[in-house]
Structure formats: structure tokens, C-alpha cells
Amino acid sequence: MQKISKLISKAIGNNSTTLVLSLGLAKSWEHIVGGDLKDLSSFRSVVYIGKGKVAITINVLSSAIMLAQYNEPNIIERVKYNFKIDSVKLVFKHSSEIKTKNKSLENSNNLKIKRCILTEQFENQKLKSALENLKTELQHAA
């Protein structure tokens, strides 16, 4: 059994540390960066530099790069505390778009609303009648 674990350790090497850290960072990203940056950034990669030292690359919207730099000490401390790492270096990469779960949900909701308005098909009749009343009031006010 020990021979197998040694072979696995040789095959994986330092990649096991980065793999575990990558999975952990991806899973707990919102907690690591905090509420201000969770929708403005995404985890990109981690590189194991040496004994207890890693470099983490983060995609950040160009408009939020100053906010990310301001929060850099907090992010480093959270990574050190949560993953028991001695030294963390953050590398910020400018990005024009960040893909998150929340944005895709928001976009799908916007599409549903636009589709309802364009086709005038509403599932809720009370909402439909309220919007029609509002429409007539606005027309009379104009």
C-alpha cells in the first residue's frame, strides 16, 4: 500500500497541493473575496511556488481593479487562514466579462420579462390587468 501512495505522490507531485487549493478556492470564492468582489471577479488559477507559497491569478473586471487591489490584504489573509498557507501572492488579470451563476440567472429573468412585454403574454391575470390600467392612465395623462 505504501508503494502505491509513493507512486501516486511521485506522479502527482506538487499538483496535488494546487489541485486541492484550486477546488477549495473555486468552491468558497464568495467567502474568500467578500461581498464587494464576488460578482466582479473570478478565480482563474493557482501555481505552487514552493514550500507553503502559492500565486493565485484572479480575473477582475477592469472597472473593479482598484477595489480588488484595495481588498488584496483581506483576500490574502482569508486564503492563508482557510487553507493554512504561509505565503500568498495575488495576480490580477483585467477582464471585460466575468461569468457567474448570478449573472446568468439575472439575464434569463430579463429575457423572460422582455418576452412577456413584447408578446403581451402574462401568466398572472392580475398583473396583466394592473399593467393595462397603468397604460390607460399614462395615455390619458399625456
Each residue of 85-103: pLDDT tens digit? 899 999 999 888 776 554 4
Cβ–Cβ under 8 Å, residues 37 and 71: yes
Task: Give every CB contact of residue 81 below 8 A, 6+ residues apart in sequence.
Answer: none
Between residues 66 and 132, the one the model is more confident about: 66
Neighbours of 68 (CB within 10 A): 20
Domain range list for the chain: 2-98, 102-141
Rounded CA separation 51/72 (Å)? 22
Can you name the CATH fold of 2-98?
GMP Synthetase; Chain A, domain 3 (3.30.300)
The average pLDDT across 23-39 equals 87
Partners of 59 in beta bridges: 42, 93
Between residues 119 and 28, the one the model is more confident about: 28
